[in-house]
Structure 1
């Protein structure tokens, strides 16, 4: 009798079960979390909702679009791309109720690509978004992205996008900030295509649209005024440049602040991008609170837009200590602009060029010719190559005919990351079916590996490259494993034990001839890595084994002492009214005279570069005995500050 009473009481006091929210309620909850900026919670809510509607393709597509947005905000770019592609695949183009979702998702893909510096892929997505857009606002949003990315990968597509935008804005009430954004992009297009006068005029117009040189300033004002200053400096008008730069706040730091306080290593000349000593770029980036770099983007390049993108990639590996970051003005570390050139201290050949030559030789043996494209003009050939690929067909009989076209597409810098993977998979299938040699296969695998992720993570790239090295086909071939080890060595910090081990494995590989370019390249890189690790004796030994003739200042225990220099440089800081710095490379001959002086990094861009060059050109160093009368040492690196008195 007692148990029955207890059970009855329990039944009376037990809470009623909570009803599960409906799918619509769950959707609204997830949406609110996302709007509130709670992206991790929103993602969990979308994933839970996914499991409740497993058979509704349309609803799943909408959920996938929302998930893609949350993933992008969480910096999970590859997952965001996958979700966005799934979303678009499930959204019928003929369904008008999903048009906004298709537009937003396509813009998201463009943003992912642009953030990854895949400007070719971003340009295609912005163009696709423009085709979906309805109304001036949506059209202008897509056109701005088109112009911004086309400037650096397909300049001939930038002007039509800007012209369309101008036509749309005619007769419309448009915010001054929007008008100025397009004026800025037109100015940058003109500057990057050699019209300094036109670019300067348009940049000045953008500043005027934003309200002129007032004391009120935001990041948009800083960028527009910096554009005018850049154009004026390119136009040799220092006074006007100084006036506009003074209104950006550049070069005004509190005591102890120093943008140089980070690890600022310019990329080596040569390499996969074929950087030349004459190439110069202006890059803009942000320094995060943890000292990492984000949102690096190209502004200007003499040498082509692809050069600017390569320099922007290089800055993403830079770091500052958290202590140094605290001393930097928060507003201006969100908008840092630097002048950059590549370093000649340890120039390197392109690994991919050697692979391309091997693939071309194999295709030649099959009766097919592979034309090697100049990277700097390759963007002009993309449409022709795509048309040729369609004409080649897709059947087995057309494989060899398509192979050279496919390869030229996957190594073309104006082809986006995702398109590269599609063409690469087809080409790899052709090479495998025809039993291509290891280096021919690797020529396809390397650009595909580089295109596999939209993340900036070196760890992910390293894992993919290590997987290739573990492939028995590549591991058994001396040159293939050397190429992969050299690539892996670039994915660790300079001087790291892993870097040195990988380079030693190439340098000591008995299967490689002593004069093999890969072994020589490994020894030169090993010299640099050993120097960075503080082992100068080992660095010199590696450099001597390479057979490269010139002595490197970087490999000396103590370079030639500077005996005198022209001390005029502080006057420039006084004249400009603010401060800056420059990192300079030069050679020193046996008589102690400076040669080949060049600025590899400078802040602000082009302001103190001439003064820094004059300073080191005028310098005299201690004489260095050289029986052949050659260089005392080459690739000497110096930094010079331009500080106001007091």
Structure 2
């Protein structure tokens, strides 16, 4: 879908097309049904239009009028693309397009809209080459002011190629709107904003700033009433001011977008928020920065992802956009954000150098997967999708398997749901009880039931102390204590419980894992050996510490093979470090910082890799991480103890 700047321009292009006749009083004939569908289509009421077109498709299945069936397919396909049904929409458009293309004069408007929809679908799928091809086809069909929409779509798609094409398209669109007296100031401003965004990505920040200030003036200046187009102009102005070194004006413009001025720092709640790795296919550099815009649905799914700005090229822009497209929110967290503000959110991003360490539960998860495979239950295809998109498919699989009596498949789907972190406590608790019953009925190993009991400890608790008590309850179960993998997993979770776990209990848990009948190379035992080395060093027994560390087989700068990082000894995130400018502006938000940990617990090389709102909290978050101290870790050469760590800091104002 085209970004908010282009919404009004789509309406502008359609306004130049003759309106379809309204439905007659008695829509009983085929023509009457077609007219009713077209009336809904012409007003962009795609939900109603699609319902009518679907009915027409059934009625005309044997109709020999190819133009009628082609028009139904194309217009229905366009509506499907607009409603997010990308694959079905593209298939319908391509089915009807050849027929309409045989009558280019009669169906010029339909053909142009069809190519725009194909371009939008390709753009949303991050296939910018296919998008540009479709937009050019739409441009070839357009005349006069109709050219504005495909011109701006091309400018958006090619903004990061730095070959002059995007700027030329944007300049033509700007001249067209300025020369057409019937176009209102708001539309002219929207076009100027798109033009200025191309200038920003070309490094012409001063020129962009001048154009954007004029756009703001045409939109009525900085007032309290905004639409998405005005928010886009103000956000771009903030970006331009920042690049020009005017941080005060940047924050003022940003304040008038509404970003960072909502309660509960709403966009901090993503359950899955991975970043693209540095290097990789796109060759991302740690110094490259991007701003990516997206919308968030009630279902926690990210849509309409568009790179706005990057210091890199197209490959870099797409790498950041794809990463955001895979983010997932719990639906309850998404719906807590007002719908208007979820339509257009922006984040600041950099590539990640953090190590991808598995969680403490990874060995027990692996045991679960091994058992499922032995029972002939392969992974579901939907497990590869972003979690929020896969969640309804997982729920459907649970329902299917429950009806079919397929206990093993149901267990697999339930296991995925709990690992996704997208299932709320109210839904999760009865499902966990059901999973435990299934584990017993299928004769699953003790580790399978333990995995579900660990999930229950989290969802049943109101705070972390209660989570730890839940772990202790799990460990007291005879079948857990008797299973080396189950017991070692729970014990290491307790041993790494931070300051809430007393030193004596931590020592007891570590020693029990070291005594467990697991190989010395097992990730849980390696983690326990690192903990033993730290404890021995703290007690002054350097020889014992060195012996324990040598048994791990790790290099001196590696963390354990599984999470977590060393426990925090002193928290650096305090209210005194809340950035003054953000406090004065009433901003809330978050920043994610990557860093290394020295053997003595000091943090090294803090670097902001993601933040909301863009460029507000990154510096403060880095200072907070720099002031944080972790529990000291023994290293034979006193080298860096743990590289590639990541922590997200949320900035909330007092209520």
Instruction: Confirm or deny a common fold (TM above 0.5).
Output: yes
2:31 aligns with 24
Cα gap change, 1:48/1:563 in structure 2, threshold over 3 Å: closer, same or farther? closer
Deviation at residue 128 of structure 1 after TM alignment: 1.2
Cα gap change, 1:166/1:324 in structure 2, threshold over 3 Å: closer, same or farther? closer
- Given that 1:192 and 1:304 are in contact with CA atoms closer than 8 Å, whether structure 2 keeps it comes out as no
SS at match of 2:327: coil
Mapped partners of 1:564, 1:20: distance in 2: 69
Match of 2:269 among 261, 272, 275: 261
- Given that 1:50 and 1:63 are in contact with CA atoms closer than 8 Å, whether structure 2 keeps it comes out as no
Cα gap change, 1:632/1:124 in structure 2, threshold over 3 Å: closer, same or farther? same
- Given that 1:552 and 1:634 are in contact with CA atoms closer than 8 Å, whether structure 2 keeps it comes out as yes
2:300 aligns with 291
Cα gap change, 1:88/1:633 in structure 2, threshold over 3 Å: closer, same or farther? same
Aligned residues: 458
2:403 aligns with none
- Given that 1:586 and 1:635 are in contact with CA atoms closer than 8 Å, whether structure 2 keeps it comes out as yes
Cα gap change, 1:258/1:554 in structure 2, threshold over 3 Å: closer, same or farther? farther
Cα gap change, 1:144/1:540 in structure 2, threshold over 3 Å: closer, same or farther? farther
Deviation at residue 234 of structure 1 after TM alignment: 2.4
Deviation at residue 618 of structure 1 after TM alignment: 3.7
Match of 1:209 among 190, 198, 218: 218
Q: How does 1:343-492 map to 2 (within 5 A)?
A: 343-346=352-355
2:72 aligns with 63
Match of 1:165 among 148, 173, 178: 173
Unaligned runs of 5+ in 2: 1-25, 358-380, 395-415, 422-488, 497-512, 514-521, 528-550
CA-to-aligned-CA distance 1:378-429 (integer Å, 9 cap, x gap): xxxxxxxxxxxxxxxxxxxxxxxxxxxxxxxxxxxxxxxxxxxxxxxxxxxx
- Given that 2:128 and 2:157 are in contact with CA atoms closer than 8 Å, whether structure 1 keeps it comes out as yes
Mapped partners of 2:317, 2:90: distance in 1: 25
Q: How does 1:488-499 map to 2 (within 5 A)?
A: none
Q: Is residue 327 of structure 1 aligned with residue 339 of structure 2?
A: no
- Given that 1:153 and 1:306 are in contact with CA atoms closer than 8 Å, whether structure 2 keeps it comes out as no
Mapped partners of 1:321, 1:238: distance in 2: 34
1:410 aligns with none
Cα gap change, 1:63/1:621 in structure 2, threshold over 3 Å: closer, same or farther? closer
- Given that 1:563 and 1:620 are in contact with CA atoms closer than 8 Å, whether structure 2 keeps it comes out as yes
RMSD (CA atoms): 3.7
- Given that 1:552 and 1:635 are in contact with CA atoms closer than 8 Å, whether structure 2 keeps it comes out as no
Task: Using structure 1 for the length normalisation, give the TM-score.
Answer: 0.63
Mapped partners of 1:460, 1:21: distance in 2: 38
1:621 aligns with 630
Deviation at residue 458 of structure 1 after TM alignment: 7.0
Q: How does 1:6-25 map to 2 (within 5 A)?
A: 22-25=29-32
CA-to-aligned-CA distance 1:268-291 (integer Å, 9 cap, x gap): 414443333223211111221222
Mapped partners of 1:297, 1:554: distance in 2: 36
1:53 aligns with 63
Q: Is residue 607 of structure 1 aligned with residue 616 of structure 2?
A: yes
1:300 aligns with 309
Match of 1:190 among 183, 194, 199: 199
Cα gap change, 1:140/1:268 in structure 2, threshold over 3 Å: closer, same or farther? closer
Match of 1:594 among 582, 589, 603: 603
Deviation at residue 598 of structure 1 after TM alignment: 1.0
1:552 aligns with 559
Cα gap change, 1:565/1:111 in structure 2, threshold over 3 Å: closer, same or farther? closer
Mapped partners of 2:572, 2:654: distance in 1: 19
Q: Is residue 126 of structure 1 aligned with residue 130 of structure 2?
A: no
Cα gap change, 1:302/1:548 in structure 2, threshold over 3 Å: closer, same or farther? farther
Unaligned runs of 5+ in 1: 1-18, 349-448, 463-491, 498-529
Q: Is residue 42 of structure 1 aligned with residue 52 of structure 2?
A: yes
SS at match of 1:90: helix
Mapped partners of 1:603, 1:548: distance in 2: 36
CA-to-aligned-CA distance 1:214-257 (integer Å, 9 cap, x gap): 22211211111111112222222111112112212222223x45
Match of 1:576 among 579, 585, 604: 585
Mapped partners of 2:34, 2:568: distance in 1: 70
SS at match of 2:570: strand
- Given that 2:265 and 2:590 are in contact with CA atoms closer than 8 Å, whether structure 1 keeps it comes out as no
2:319 aligns with 310
Q: Is residue 561 of structure 1 aligned with residue 568 of structure 2?
A: yes
1:252 aligns with 261
Mapped partners of 1:546, 1:179: distance in 2: 65
Task: Using structure 2 for the length normalisation, give the TM-score.
Answer: 0.62
Cα gap change, 1:552/1:213 in structure 2, threshold over 3 Å: closer, same or farther? same
